[in-house]
A and B are shown apart, each in its own frame.
Chain A
Amino acid sequence: MQKAEPKGNYLTTTTTTLKKYGLSRGVLLLFLVLAIAPLVLKNEYLIHLLISSLLYGSLAMGFDFTAGNINIVNVGYAAFMGIGAYATGILTTRLGISPWLGLIPAIVFAGILGFLTGLLTLRLRGIFAAIMTWFLGLTLYAAAANLIDLTRGQLGLSVPPLFDSGSKIPYFYIILVITIIVYVLLQLVLRSHIGIAFNAIGQDVDSAQASGVNPVKYKVINFTISCMIAGLLGWFYAHFVGILTPEIMSTKVSVEILALAYLGGRGSLWGGLLAALVLIPVFEYLRFLMEFRLIIYGVLLILVMIFFPGGIASVLKSLGKVWQKSIQIFRQMREKRAG
Chain B
Amino acid sequence: MSGLLRGGIYILMAVGLSLVFGVMNIPNFAHGEFYMVGAFFAFFSFTMFGLSPIIAILAAGLGTLILGVLLEKIIFVPLRKKSKDEWVMNSFLVTIGLSIALINIATAIWGSNFKGIPSYWEGSIKLFSSVNISIDRFVGFVVAIAVVIVFWLFLNKTKIGLSIRAVAQNERGAMLVGIKLSSVYTLTFALSCMLAGIAGACLLSINPAYPNMGVAPLYKSWFVVILVGMGNIGGSIAGGLIVGMLEAFSFYFLGSGWQDVVSLSAIILILVFKPAGIFGSSVKGVWGK
Which chain A residues have a beta carbon within 8 Å of chain B's beta carbons? 71, 73, 120, 123-128, 130-132, 134-136, 138-139, 142-143, 145-146, 251, 255, 258-259, 262, 291-295, 297-302, 305-307, 309
Contact = CB atoms under 8 A, between A and B. Distances in A.
A76 B195 CA distance: 28
A132 B268 contact: yes
- Main SS of chain A's interface residues? helix
B108 A291 contact: yes
B226 to A, nearest CB: 7
A142 B261 contact: yes
Given A127-B27, A135-B268, A306-B79, A299 B101 contact: yes
Interface centre among B90, B104, B105 (most CB of A within 10 A): B104
Contact of A305 (B79, B88, B271, B288): B79
A315 to B, nearest CB: 15
Given A120-B271, A128-B286, A297-B100, 14 more contacts: A126-B287, A132-B268, A139-B260, A142-B258, A142-B261, A145-B257, A295-B101, A298-B99, A298-B102, A301-B96, A301-B100, A307-B82, A309-B83, A309-B86
Contacts of B89: 71, 73, 126-127, 130
A286 B98 CA distance: 23
B272 interface: yes
Contacts, number: 125
B75 interface: yes
B267 interface: yes
Interface string B81-97: 01100101110111011
A73 B88 CA distance: 12
A294 B103 contact: yes
Nearest to A308: B82
A120 B272 contact: yes
Contacts of B271: 120, 124, 128, 131-132, 135
B123 interface: no
Contacts of B260: 138-139, 142
Contacts of B79: 305-306
A135 B267 contact: yes
- Could you say which interface size class chain B belongs to? 35 or more
Interface centre among B89, B103, B105 (most CB of A within 10 A): B89
14 contacts: A73-B89, A73-B92, A123-B275, A128-B275, A132-B271, A139-B260, A142-B258, A146-B257, A259-B97, A293-B104, A297-B100, A302-B97, A305-B79, A309-B82
B219 A134 contact: yes
A76 to B, nearest CB: 11
Contact of B101 (A125, A139, A298): A298
Contacts of B102: 298
A245 to B, nearest CB: 15
Nearest to B273: A123
B265 interface: yes
A123 B265 CA distance: 17
Nearest to B82: A306
Contact of A146 (B98, B103, B258, B286): B258
A139 B93 contact: no
Nearest to A301: B97
Contacts of B104: 292-295, 298
B264 interface: yes
Interface centre among A130, A138, A298, A300 (most CB of B within 10 A): A298
Nearest to A250: B215
A307 B82 CA distance: 7
B264 A139 contact: yes
B126 interface: no
B268 A139 contact: yes
Contacts of B215: 251
B159 interface: no
A308 to B, nearest CB: 10
Nearest to B267: A135
B222 interface: yes
A74 to B, nearest CB: 13
B108 A295 contact: yes
B178 interface: no
B275 A124 contact: yes
Contacts of A307: 78, 82
B219 A302 contact: no
A305 B93 contact: yes
Contacts of A142: 257-258, 260-261, 264
